Homo-oligomer: A and B are copies of this chain.
Amino acid sequence: MSLPDSFERLTVLFRKLPGVGAKTARRMAFFVLQQPVSYAEELAACLSGLKDRIFTCSRCGNITDREPCAVCSDLLRDRSTLCVVETVEDLISIEQAGVYSGLYHVLGGRVSPLDGEDLDEECLAGLVRRIGEDRIREVIIATNPRIEGDLTFHAIVDRLGETDVSVSRLAYGLPVGGSIEFADRTTLLASLESRVTVKRKE
């Protein structure tokens, strides 16, 4: 059966979005048809020229529509602490949790031998340069808690040996609200190794 061309094309394009299969793409296309015309038009207007309006902050690598970005230009933030993340997605997650008020540095890459990825020399050099120029005192490495993240972590730590800053990384352990029963072995091991002393033997 031949569906209308523009309907098929819309389904194909929706299907490219992450997490969207054939059936979901079709449901989405139907949804658009069922909405008031304004929905499709607004979405079209928003998509058209999107990449001209949004670019990368030259200081931290965040996405932004002005230079420097909202985080870098916020004078109320702690400008001596730098949180190093792999991607802008990670930055936004930390930012939306509202748990950190320093600055960020987006690597835009990671060390992943299996995928043939490595950190740019320029990426690490840029981090070291920024630490010097912006007088950073503490670097918090917030790479993801898995093999690639750990490799990336070590690459950064190696490189930061030459600088005069404190370096820390996010704690590994039980996710709050989770349960020990469903925790995997590696997480349990990490939570044991990093156990917090509550009372010391006198």
Q: Which residues of A contact B (CB under 8 A)?
A: 1-7, 9-10, 13, 16-19, 24, 26-28, 30-33, 35, 37, 39-48, 50-51, 53-54, 63-65, 70-71, 88-89, 92, 95-96
Contacts and interface: CB of A to CB of B under 8 A. Distances in A.
Given A13-B46, A42-B13, A43-B13, A51 B31 contact: no
A56 to B, nearest CB: 10
Contacts of A31: 16-18
A18 B33 CA distance: 12
B47 A10 contact: yes
> What is the predominant secondary structure among interface residues of chain A facing chain B?
helix
Given A43-B47, A89-B27, A96-B1, A53 B16 contact: no
11 contacts: A3-B70, A6-B46, A9-B42, A27-B89, A30-B88, A30-B89, A33-B54, A43-B44, A44-B44, A44-B47, A48-B48
A64 B2 CA distance: 9
A63 B95 CA distance: 44
A26 B50 CA distance: 14
A64 B27 contact: no
Contacts of A88: 30
A35 B2 CA distance: 28
Given A1-B71, A4-B63, A48 B41 contact: yes
B27 A92 contact: no
A88 B9 CA distance: 17
Contact of A7 (B19, B28, B44, B63): B63
A77 to B, nearest CB: 10
A155 B31 CA distance: 27
